[in-house]
Structure 1
Amino acid sequence: MNRGKQTWPHRSFKLTGFGEPLREQHDQIGAPAGKQVLLRVLACGVCHSDLHLSDGFFDLGGGKRMDLGRGIALPRTLGHEIAGEVVAVGEQVTGLAIGDRRLLYPWIGCGDCGLCSAGAEHLCPQPRHHGTTVDGGFSNFVMVPDARYLLAFDPLPESFAATLACSGLTAYSALCKAGAKSASDPLLIIGAGGVGLAAISIACALSGVGPVVAEIDGDKREGALAAGASEVVDPRDPDVKRRLMKHTGGGFAAAVDFVGATATVALGMNLLRKGGRLVVVGLYGGSMEFSLPTLPLRSVSLMGSYVGSLKELEELMALARDLKLNPMQIVPRTLGSTQAVLEDLRAGRIRGRAVIIPSVTDSKDVS
């Protein structure tokens, strides 16, 4: 295996200032040591959280912001949905061969705290998350600290496999929190963007029942039906609450909000039946007010969900490798167009999931 002082030409697009365009950088990346593994990036998905990270804040509503600057040291290469090919390994790595294709679990923790010991590295207070606190996949190479975070993804195409590390995992973990649903326990999904579409496919695979989907965009509603939704609605319809409450016989057993805005959280809470659960995933921003006595009187639950654990990704990969998931629409783009992709995503011009393919030259842009 390739070890020693060999280096590889490294091209990356880095965030050098919050609110500023990514900057292209060329340098050399060295050989891995110890438990490290060097991956050639085959595909890297582009996520809405990349927009928040590039802005440097989350909108908390009411003019308040969560500053991300203290947790992200610049310059930083973004991109956390990474599928790659093993190029070299450190001297302590076993069980991997050059050329193996692997998906990276990017939500790595410190490894020592109670959360990490419990398998919740993604919630670690001292994270080593690729694409946020350490360099990610908007580049042609990425260094992985330990082979245990690499999952085989064949026979899946790398462009689809990459999306499972965040959008797929986020959807799967949220659905697990919501609980498996059946025809008698209806599920509402709010938002049919990239993560919402992944959730529709996963929900169908887990329960065999298509969820109801609320989405304001007509094209996305069509995409939700194609992904397996049993029904789609426009939440701006003034009659939508009455119709859905009647259709479900008193409300949904669970709702998962992949938008995370004031209006969507209110919609989800209002459409729950007694004992129902709302899982908020989206990071659009805002705040909400509700009457506290309604929580015990209705016995409803409101909880958040942030990406997912390594164990959950392993479970999701088992579903995907058994070909039980319908791949979402993939929009392949070149490494050189990364900044343009972020701009397209911010403007709502991406349908499905944009994925950076570094091996495609900029002169042959696949966009």
Structure 2
Amino acid sequence: MRCYCVVDHGKPLELVERDVPQPTGTQVLLRVKAAGLCHSDLHLWEGYYDLGGGKKLSLADRGIKLPLTPSHEICGEVVALGPQASADASALPAGTTAIVHPWIGCGECAACGRGEENICAKPQSLGVLRDGGFADYVLVPHPRYLVDLAGLDPVKAAPLACAGVTTYSAAKKFGARLHEGPVVVIGAGGLGMMALEVLKAMGAHGAVVVDVDPAKREAALAAGALAAIDARASDAAQQIVAATGGGARAVLDLVGATPTVKLALDSCARGGHVVIVGLMGGDLTLSLPIIPMRPLRIEGSYVGTLPELRELVALMRAGKLHAAAVLQRPLSEINEAFEALAQGKVVGRQILVP
């Protein structure tokens, strides 16, 4: 089978031919039908996260080893099950098309005990620490990580496994603030466009989108954003305050860079809530008395849980969640897709199809 692997950081992914794996124990083998390209895959390709101040967190420090097949947004057809998986009455049978929850934990730590495998202390995430979906086949360690798509288009559904569940989990953290005024969404890339659809499905008050790219701002307006603001405008914070009727109650930062977090804090109303999702990097200096005096809430959010993915698929099946913009490409164009994403030329999500 074909696998496109990061063999050397910063260099084009290489095509590696391997034998089709045979599932053992609780494993399930899927024939990949669609695999999304996420900005996190760029960090895996680059080999580090920017911590600001000239500091970097290398992927080796996170236990990530090369060669690695990326992609954690995976839909595929069940083709074989290991003996224990076959004995599991809840396992999806061969021939079923499913989406994979890739955020797999150890099953033993406190986070896993709470059902939050996505923040496990010893993660085994597909496409990050185990080989992912940029291949003809992928092994899933247990059938419970598969969610039946039941007729949904795998190309349109694939982003639910990351872009969808990430923005859904983050938006849920706002609670009642979703309905107090427009949610400010910083970043109109793959996550931002998905966030617009997720917020509609959740009955949010609306969204004000902030991005540096005019094409992405136009796409956000076409997708239903109430306003689209240039993040580099000298009065961007004042524009956000005006568009939200006196200051943002909820800000979803899908970029996670020094200037975007500063903009989020500068545009918040008293009692505002900022959830940071993006991993672009940098650092931040805060005047601490401002946090309790305003008072502000700053929270991080990392992808989402298996139950949240099941909720999202149910929303899409019920017609309450519409697919965000996707660009379908053959898997053989993987390096062109990486280049387009790195250059900021992509509106929506690129989906690679074997």
Normalising by structure 1, what TM-score?
0.92
CA contact 2:167–2:191 (8 Å) conserved in 1: yes
- The residue aligned with 1:258 is 254
SS in 2 for 1:45: strand
Does 2:191 correspond to 1:195? yes
Structure 1 position 268, deviation (Å):
0.5
Asked whether 1:22 is paired with 2:13, we answer: yes
Cα distance in 2 for partners of 1:65, 1:243 equals 33
Shift of 1:242: 2.6
| 2:232 pairs with one of 233, 236, 240 | 236
Is the CA contact (8 Å cut-off) linking 1:178 and 1:256 kept in structure 2? no
* Kept in 2: contact 1:180–1:206 (CA 8 A): no
Select the residue among 23, 26, 40 that pairs with 1:35: 26
Distance in 2 of aligned mates of 1:22 and 1:127? 24
For 1:1-367, list aligned pairs within 5 A: 10-70=1-61, 71-93=63-85, 94=89, 95-181=91-177, 184-358=180-354
The whole-number CA distance in structure 2 between the counterparts of 1:180 and 1:227 is: 23
Q: Which amino acid aligns with 2:71?
A: G
Between the aligned partners of 2:237 and 2:5, the Cα distance in structure 1 is: 45
The alpha carbon displacement at 1:181 in A equals 4.1
What SS does structure 2 have at the residue aligned with 1:207? coil
| Residues in 2 aligned to 1:247 and 1:353: alpha-carbon distance in whole angstroms | 27
Deviations along 1:256-308, one digit per CA (max 9) or x if unpaired, are: 00111111101111111111110011111111112000000011011111101
> Conserved in 2, the CA contact under 8 Å of 1:211 and 1:231?
yes
Per-residue CA deviation, residues 317-353 of structure 1 (Å, 9 max, x unaligned), is: 1111112122122111111111221111101122211
SS in 2 for 1:84: strand
TM-superposed deviation, 1:145: 0.8
Aligned length in residues: 349
| SS of equivalent to 1:160 | helix
Residue 183 of structure 1, CA deviation:
5.5
> Partner of 1:6 in structure 2?
none
Give the distance between the partners of 2:81 and 2:340, measured in 1 at CA: 36
Shift of 1:54: 1.0
Q: CA RMSD in A?
A: 1.4
Partner Cα distance (2:327, 2:297) in 1: 36
Cα 1:272–1:340 shift into 2, 3 Å: same
Distance 1:269 1:116, change over 3 A: same
Q: Which runs of 5+ in 2 are unaligned?
A: none
Residue type of the alignment partner of 2:78: V
Which amino acid letter does the alignment assign opposite residue 78 of structure 1? P
Once the two structures are superposed, residues 39-68 of structure 1 have per-residue CA deviations (whole angstroms, 9 ceiling, x without a partner) of 000000001100101111001111110111
Counterpart contact for 2:180–2:205, Cα < 8 Å: no
Q: Tell me whether 245-254 or 299-308 shows the greater mean CA deviation.
A: 245-254
Q: Runs of 5+ in structure 1 lacking a partner? A: 1-9, 359-367
Q: Secondary structure at the match of 1:212?
A: strand
Determine what percentage of the aligned residue pairs are the same residue: 45
Q: What is the CA-CA distance between 1:214 and the residue it aligns to?
A: 1.1
| Cα pair distance change 1:155/1:171, threshold 3 Å | same
Tell me: CA distance 1:332–1:291, structure 2 relative to 1, closer, same or farther (3 Å).
same
Corresponding residue SS for 2:18: strand
Is this contact kept in 2: 1:204–1:228, CA < 8 A? Answer: no
Q: Which amino acid aligns with 2:83?
A: E
CA distance in 2, matches of 1:185, 1:208: 8
CA contact (8 A) 2:104 2:117 kept: yes
Q: Could you say what secondary structure the match of 1:173 adopts? A: helix
What is the TM-score when the length of structure 2 is the normalising length? 0.95
Does the Cα contact within 8 Å between 2:182 and 2:206 map onto a contact in 1? no
Which string of whole-angstrom CA distances, capped at 9 and with x for unpartnered residues, describes residues 5-44 of structure 1?
Answer: xxxxx21011112222211111212321221110000000
Q: How far did residue 247 of structure 1 move?
A: 4.1
Q: 1:19 to 1:182 in 2, by over 3 A?
A: closer
Q: Does the CA-based 8 Å contact 1:102-1:152 persist in structure 2?
A: yes
